[in-house]
Amino acid sequence: MSVPNEDKMASHAQLSSHFFGDLLDSIIVDVASECHRIARLGLDRNLEEEEEELKLSAQARERVADPNNSGEANSKYVVDIFGQTHPPIASDIFECMNCHRPIMAGRFAPHLEKCMGKGRKARLKGTRSSTAAQNRHSRGSPVSTYPPYPNSTSTNQLSNGTSGVAGEEYSNGTFPES
Amino acid sequence: MKTSINRPPTPDAEEDQDHQPTLQEIINIKMIESGEKERLKELLRERLIECGWRDEMKALCRAFARKKGRNNVTVDDLVQVITPKGRASVPDSVKAELLQRIRTFLTSVSI
C-alpha cells in the first residue's frame, strides 16, 4: 500500500522525534548516574568541605583585616603557622662562654656588652685571669707581633710582660725563654 | 535498603505472545540490530559534550547534591533534576543533525 508522501514525511518526523527523545533520555540517565557516583563517592572536591574551607578562609581574612589585631605590636602571643606561640623575649637559659654565668637568651646581647667590654666596668676588670681578654683590651692599640723598635717601651705596655711580645725581638727562629 | 532506581515490573511472558509489535518497536529492533542506534547515541553524546551541554547538566547535579547533602542523592532525583532543562537546552544544530541521521535510516529500511 503506497502511503502519500506527506503522510510518510509526517510519520517519519514523528518517528525521528521519538527516537531522538529516546537517545536523549538514555544520555540523560548516563549523566545522572555518573553525577550520582561522583556525589556519593565524594570525588567532586568534597562539596561540603569546600563550603567549610570558604568559611574558614573568610574568617581568616577578617582576622587579618581587623585593625585590633596587628600581630607584632599588640599581641604578645602571636600564633605561627604550626599553631605554636612564642613569648616575645626568648627565655632559654644557657651559659655565657665569657663569664660562665647562666644567662637568659633574650638578655644575651646586653649581657655581652657588659661582659666583653663595651661598657666602662668591663675595662677595669684587671683581676680576670683570661689573657685573651686582656690582649684585646690593651689601650686601644692593635695587637702587633712585630714591634717597630726592639728597645721601644711603647710596645711593652702590658704590665706582666707577656713573653710572646718580648720574645719576638730576638727572633732568629728560636724563642728565648724568659 | 534504599533503592535508588525505580524499575517497572517485569512483564509476564504470557502477555508478550499475543502482542503485535508496533512500527516503533520494529524500527527500534532494526536500529539496535544494525548497530545504528549505538552509533547515533555515540554521535549525540559527542555533540553534547562539545557544546558544553554535559557540563551544564553536571553543574546542575552538583548544585543539587550540595543542597540536598551528597549522601541523600538518588539517581532518580538527578534524572528529574536534569530532564526538563536537558531536553530544552539541546542546541538546534545538534538536534537537526541527529534527526537527519535518523530520517536517513528510516528511509534506508524503507518504512
Interface test with A, best of B103, B104, B107, B108 (most A CBs within 10 A): B103
Least confident of A14-18, A36-40, A154-158: A154-158
Task: Let me know if domain B35-108 sits in CATH 3.90.1150.10.
Answer: no
- Kindly give the parts of chain B with pLDDT less than 50: none
SS3 content of chain B, % helix, strand, coil (to 5): 75, 0, 25
Q: Contact, B111 vs A12, CB < 8 A?
A: yes
CA distance B38 to B31: 8
- Report the complex ipTM: 0.84
Q: How many CA atoms lie within 13 A of A174 on its CB side?
A: 3
Residues of chain A found within 8 Å of residue B93, distances taken between Cβ atoms = none
Residues of chain A found within 8 Å of residue B40, distances taken between Cβ atoms = 19, 23
Measured between alpha carbons, how far is residue B93 from residues A27, B44, B47, B81, B98 in Å?
Answer: 18, 11, 10, 24, 9
Task: Give the pTM.
Answer: 0.51
Residue boundaries of the structural domains of chain A: 8-65, 75-117
Distance from CA of B75 to the nearest CA of A (A): 6
Q: What is the pLDDT of residues A136-153, one digit of tens each?
A: 555 555 554 555 555 544
Residues of chain A found within 8 Å of residue B70, distances taken between Cβ atoms = 39-40, 42, 47-48
Measure CB to CB from residue A27 to each of B37, B45, B62 and give the nearest one: B45
Q: What does the CA dihedral B46, B52, B55, B60 come to, rounded to 10 degrees?
A: -120
Residues of chain A found within 8 Å of residue B95, distances taken between Cβ atoms = 20
Q: What is the pLDDT of residues A94-132, one digit of tens each?
A: 888 888 888 888 888 888 888 887 656 656 655 555 555
Q: What is the pLDDT of residues A32-91, one digit of tens each?
A: 999 999 999 988 766 566 667 778 888 888 877 776 655 554 455 677 888 888 777 888
